[in-house]
Amino acid sequence: MPNSLIEVKNLKMYFPVVSGILVPRKVSDIKAVDDISFDIRRGETFGLVGESGSGKTTVGLSLLQLYRPTSGQVLLEGKDLCKLRGSELRQVRRRMQAIFQDPYSSLNPRMNVFDIISEPLGIHHIMSPREYRRKVEEMLTLVDLDPGMISRYPHEFSAGERQRIGIARALAVGPEFIVCDEPVSSLDVCVQAQILDILDSLQTRLNLTYLFIAHDLAVVGYMSNRIAVMYLGQFVELGTRDQIFEKPLHPYTRALLSAVPIPDRAAEKKRQRVVFADETSGALTPSNGCSFAPRCTVGDEQCHEAVPEMEMREAEHWVACWKS
């Protein structure tokens, strides 16, 4: 597609379910990602939202090839990453980095800031070790941290500062594409705003492209140009930020939006919450039809018997629903 940095075609990531101790055997699959296709355009933020267990993080890890997909294609400027191995894949990974959810577990407690940020420089042989200190100080300044903290260890920082160190580490090798895997979900609200502003500023300054993963639609809406809503491994709706927030088509999207808090208390009281019918469906007990059908309040017999395809209802706006 024109101007696309990443193209994903029919991506599947299945995890086997094994039974038995003496003679283990595969009995089924958990379809964490089940045949999704989309593109991420250069310079944009593509938001991915859904509840826990929907497959969001698996998509991000599959794009980075930290999970090797069961099938499908992940194209970086036309090059299929799923076919790369060894040094070829390592070279491409320099162009793709990740910012992880937990700033506590994503940093090695035995390494100081200098070692954490300079480690990827050594892995990719970007510069001479004599230049590492200058580069690390530059990265710390970029994320609004004092370069004088270069010798400190992770336990000496707050959660927000640790996440800034994680961002600096991701930027050290000069990537074009960054997977932001719920980068603010474990932070206080005021710190969340600071980290989001840093990410937004860096995107403009460095011409970065983001896949922004979160379960909070308000945060995704603040950051993203386009948003995909994911449920049990599949996309149920995809559109621009305005389309998703102003004209949601899928019952699941409307339910997520109804749970987003709004500052007007009077309007909050008048707003009608969308409540799921039940929660019986799961990754191990998939529905024969629409994956959301067991919980949907507007579904009928057709929804339980046939899987809806993603259809475009207007420019840029796609939905998989029989009732929308």
pLDDT of res. 277 = 64
pLDDT band at 272 (very low <50, low <70, confident <90, very high): low
Mean pLDDT (whole number) for 260-265: 68
139 pLDDT exceeds 80?
yes
Mean pLDDT (whole number) for 119-144: 94
249 pLDDT exceeds 70?
yes
Q: Which stretches within the chain are classed as H helix?
A: 56-63, 86-93, 113-123, 132-142, 159-171, 189-206, 217-223, 241-246, 251-258, 265-270, 301-305
pLDDT top residue among 216 and 162: 162
pLDDT of res. 269 = 57
pLDDT band at 279 (very low <50, low <70, confident <90, very high): low
pLDDT of res. 26 = 85
pLDDT of res. 283 = 57
Of 161, 228, 157, nearest in space to 198 by CA: 161
268 pLDDT exceeds 60?
no
Q: HSE (CB half, 13 Å, CA atoms) of 136?
A: 24
Q: How far is CA 196 from the centre of its chain?
A: 14
257 within 8 A of 248, measured Cβ to Cβ: yes
302 within 8 A of 322, measured Cβ to Cβ: yes
Percent of the chain scoring above 70 in pLDDT: 91
pLDDT of res. 271 = 63
- In sequence order, which residues have a C-beta less than 8 Å from that of residue 6 and are 6 or more positions away? 39, 40, 63, 74, 75, 76, 177, 209, 211
2 pLDDT exceeds 70?
no
pLDDT band at 267 (very low <50, low <70, confident <90, very high): low
Mean pLDDT (whole number) for 148-160: 95
Question: What domains, with CATH codes, occur in the chain?
Answer: 4-95+175-244 (3.40.50.300)
Question: What DSSP string runs through 2-48?
Answer: TTEEEEEEEEEEEEEEEE-SSS-EEEEEEEEEEEEEEEEETT-EEEE
285 pLDDT exceeds 80?
no
Beta bridge partners of 57: none
pLDDT of res. 266 = 59
pLDDT of res. 204 = 95
pLDDT band at 20 (very low <50, low <70, confident <90, very high): confident
1 pLDDT exceeds 70?
no
Q: Quick one: residue 296, left, alpha or beta (phi over 0 = left, psi -120 to 50 = alpha)?
A: beta
The per-residue pLDDT of the chain, averaged, comes to 90
pLDDT of res. 172 = 96
25 pLDDT exceeds 60?
yes
pLDDT band at 287 (very low <50, low <70, confident <90, very high): low
pLDDT band at 293 (very low <50, low <70, confident <90, very high): confident
205 pLDDT exceeds 60?
yes
Region of poorest pLDDT, from 12-16, 69-73, 197-201, 298-302: 298-302
Mean pLDDT (whole number) for 193-220: 95
29 pLDDT exceeds 90?
no
Q: How far is CA 157 from the centre of its chain?
A: 25
Mean pLDDT (whole number) for 173-196: 93
pLDDT band at 298 (very low <50, low <70, confident <90, very high): confident
Strand order in the sheet with 234-240: 96-99, 177-181, 209-214, 45-49, 226-231, 234-240, 317-319, 311-314
